[in-house]
């Protein structure tokens, strides 16, 4: 039976206000592998797109921006930037990449 979430939790999920914490690790090797995403973030993003076989032709290649406070940012007809917050989990990075690309595609439809 599915659990029904309270309305305030649903609103927080919708607004992405819920804190997203890093995963827990069973061994030190897993922790080191996880930390690599923060040491070479652009390389991690590029490899992630290839390894996870994200079959999306991005309007603009996603670039990492260490100064970006948000998860991601799309400036229509200019760029797609990914912030440090999006690297916390693979699922969050995937959602952020797709979310920012949708901004570009919706803007293209309006023209």
Q: DSSP code of 52?
A: T
* Tens-digit pLDDT profile for residues 59-74: 999 999 999 999 999 9
Residue-level pLDDT at 71: 96
Chain length of the chain? 111
Helix-, strand-, coil-residue percentages of the chain, each rounded to 5: 50, 10, 40
pTM, rounded to two decimals: 0.77
- What does the alpha-carbon distance between residue 111 and residue 100 come to, in Å, rounded to a whole number? 18
Task: Please list the residues that pair with 74 across neighbouring strands.
Answer: 80
């Amino acid at each position: 039976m599915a659990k029904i979430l309270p309305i305030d939790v649903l609103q927080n999920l919708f607004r992405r206000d819920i804190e997203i914490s890093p995963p827990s690790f069973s061994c030190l090797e897993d922790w080191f592998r996880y930390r690599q995403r923060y040491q070479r973030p652009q390389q991690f993003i590029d490899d992630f797109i290839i390894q996870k076989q994200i079959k999306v032709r991005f309007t603009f290649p996603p670039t990492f921006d260490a100064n970006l406070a948000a998860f991601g940012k799309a400036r229509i007809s200019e760029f797609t930037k990914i912030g440090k917050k999006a690297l916390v989990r693979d699922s969050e990075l995937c959602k952020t990449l797709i979310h920012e690309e949708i901004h570009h595609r919706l803007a293209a439809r309006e023209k």
